[in-house]
Structure 1
Amino acid sequence: MSLRLSTVILPYLRWHEGGRSAWTRAEQLGFHTGYTYDHLSWRTFRDGPWFGAIPTLTAAATATERLRLGTLVTSPNFRHPVNLAKELISLDDISGGRITLGIGAGGTGFDATALGQDPWTPRERADRFAEFVPLLDRLLTEDSVSYEGDFYSAHEARNIPGCVQRPRLPFAVAATGPRGLKLAARHGQAWVTTGDPKLFENGTSEQSVGAIRGQVEKLTDACVALGRDVHTVDKVLLTGFTPDRGRPLESLDAFVDFAGRHQELGFTEIVIHWPIPDSDFAADQKVFEEIAMEAPTQLR
């Protein structure tokens, strides 16, 4: 299988001051999917402009025709499955069935406390995620859902006519722990990783590849336990969080080497950040566009 190349466009630009043009250019460059972060604010961008993921993707859907669109990733930190399902069904309709939901358990960043709650522990996040994903699955596939759980409830929640994509839009489940990988194996059309965060500061590229290989093996085990062929699960690497940092975007050859090593691990999609000057995602726009246009043909 050829390796797909996608991009993630952070929602920090006003739509009419560079936001729209980034999404339309992504389509022109031939990216498979354009993703955006689903946060209320994020890290070093906290004190600057930052727009909502769902409205941004809705605008992108009306500005493009072929580009798939999605979140990397949505989490329970400030989302409820009932509201989210209605928005996703609407977005899938507006886009003509081009939406992928990247979904994860969330972290301890600004989203975790923006609604006034104390940040959840890793176990609490995992508990909520384990309830969130199956309920969202039902809400996107059934006309009416009633449910009473430990964290979420739904009372005759109507979602007619459902998704354009059947039986629902695809889930790309971000996970590295056993409970999350089980959710990816059971509910995911794709699995997402950023690598091993423990290696980001002081690890090597070789250690990172080894750690990611181990994650793929654990995903395989989770699929086997459920009687699923792991090859039916797309494997997505969101770059920028491995020890390589921005080096793969320094040249076409550097990127092809980086992507090829991960393609050998079974990855079917690599996601690179749209360049943002004076940030962790700074990169030469010309090199970035060369990678977008040339790398996929070299990685078939």
Structure 2
Amino acid sequence: MSLRLSTVILPYRRWHEGGRTEWQRAERLGFHTAYTYDHLSWRGFRDGPWFGAVPTLTAAAGVTDRIRLGTLVTSPNFRHPVTLAKELISLDDISGGRVTLGVGAGGSGFDATALGQEPWTPRERADRFAEFVPLLDRLLTEDTVSYEGAFYSAHEARNIPSSVQRPRLPLAVAATGPRGLRLAARYGQAWVTTGDPKLYENGTPDQSVRAIRGQADKLADACAALGRDAHELDKVLLTGFTPDRGRPLRSLDAFVDFAGRHRELGFTEIVIHWPIPGSEFDADQKIFERIAMEAPAQLG
């Protein structure tokens, strides 16, 4: 399978002041998917403009025709499966079946306390995620769902006519721990990783590759335990969080080398951030666009 190249467009620009054109440009450049973060605010953008993921993706669906659209990632931090499923089904209909939901357990950032709750421990996040994903799977595949769990409930929740994509829109499950990898193996059409966060500050690119290989091996074990072939899942690397940081976007050759090393690990999709001047995702726009247009052909 050829390696697909996708991008993340952060929702910090007003739609009519450049936001719209980025999504249209992403389609013209040939990206497979254009994702956005599903946060209420995020890191260095905390005190500046930041817009909602689903409305942004809905607007993007209206000004594009071919590119897939999605989140990287949605989490239980401020989402409930019942309302999320309704929004996703609506978005999938508006886009003509072009939506992928990237979903993860979430972290301890601003989203974790925005609704007034105390931050969950890693175990609590994992517990909620283990209930969140199966319920969302049901809501996206069944017309009527009733459920009573430890964290989430649904009472005759109706989702008719369900999503355009069948049996439901695809889930890309972000996970590195054993419980999350089991969820990816059971429910995912794709698995997402950002690498090993412990290596971000002081690790090396070679250490990162070895760590990611270990994650992929654990995913394969989780699939085998369910009788599933791990090759059925797409494997997605969201870049920018490995020790390489922004170096792969410094030239076409640097990116091809970086992507090629990860393709050898079985990755089918590499996701790069749309350049944002003055941020951790700053990059030369011309080089970025050259990578978009030329790298897929070189990678085969």
TM-score, length of structure 2 as denominator length = 1.00
Extract unaligned runs of 5+ from structure 2. none
SS in 2 for 1:44: helix
SS in 1 for 2:236: strand
What does the per-residue CA deviation read over 1:113-167, in whole Å, with 9 as the maximum and x for residues that have no partner?
0000000000000000000000000000000000000000000000000000000
Aligned residues: 300
Alignment-mate amino acid for residue 276 of structure 1: I
Give the match for residue 72 of structure 2. 72
- The runs of at least 4 aligned residues of structure 1 exceeding 6 Å deviation read none
In 1, the alpha carbon distance for the partners of 2:161 and 2:258 equals: 43
Give the match for residue 35 of structure 1. 35
Give the match for residue 151 of structure 2. 151
Extract unaligned runs of 5+ from structure 1. none
Give the match for residue 196 of structure 1. 196
In 1, the alpha carbon distance for the partners of 2:183 and 2:63 equals: 33
In 1, the alpha carbon distance for the partners of 2:91 and 2:66 equals: 15
Alignment-mate amino acid for residue 42 of structure 1: W
Give the match for residue 129 of structure 1. 129
SS in 2 for 1:255: helix
SS in 2 for 1:191: strand
Shift of 1:278: 0.2
Give the match for residue 14 of structure 2. 14
Shift of 1:60: 0.2
SS in 2 for 1:181: helix
In 2, the alpha carbon distance for the partners of 1:153 and 1:78 equals: 15
SS in 1 for 2:150: coil
Give the match for residue 177 of structure 1. 177
- Pairing 1:90-169 to 2, within 5 Å after superposition: 90-169=90-169
Shift of 1:97: 0.1
In 1, the alpha carbon distance for the partners of 2:132 and 2:207 equals: 33
What does the per-residue CA deviation read over 1:234-257, in whole Å, with 9 as the maximum and x for residues that have no partner?
000000000000000000000000
What does the per-residue CA deviation read over 1:49-86, in whole Å, with 9 as the maximum and x for residues that have no partner?
00000000000000000000000000000000000000
In 2, the alpha carbon distance for the partners of 1:203 and 1:146 equals: 47
Give the match for residue 221 of structure 1. 221
Alignment-mate amino acid for residue 188 of structure 1: G
Shift of 1:272: 0.0
Alignment-mate amino acid for residue 67 of structure 2: L
TM-score, length of structure 1 as denominator length = 1.00
CA RMSD, Structure 1 to Structure 2 (Å): 0.2
In 2, the alpha carbon distance for the partners of 1:42 and 1:192 equals: 19
SS in 1 for 2:154: strand
In 2, the alpha carbon distance for the partners of 1:131 and 1:94 equals: 28
Give the match for residue 262 of structure 1. 262
Shift of 1:175: 0.1
In 2, the alpha carbon distance for the partners of 1:52 and 1:34 equals: 15
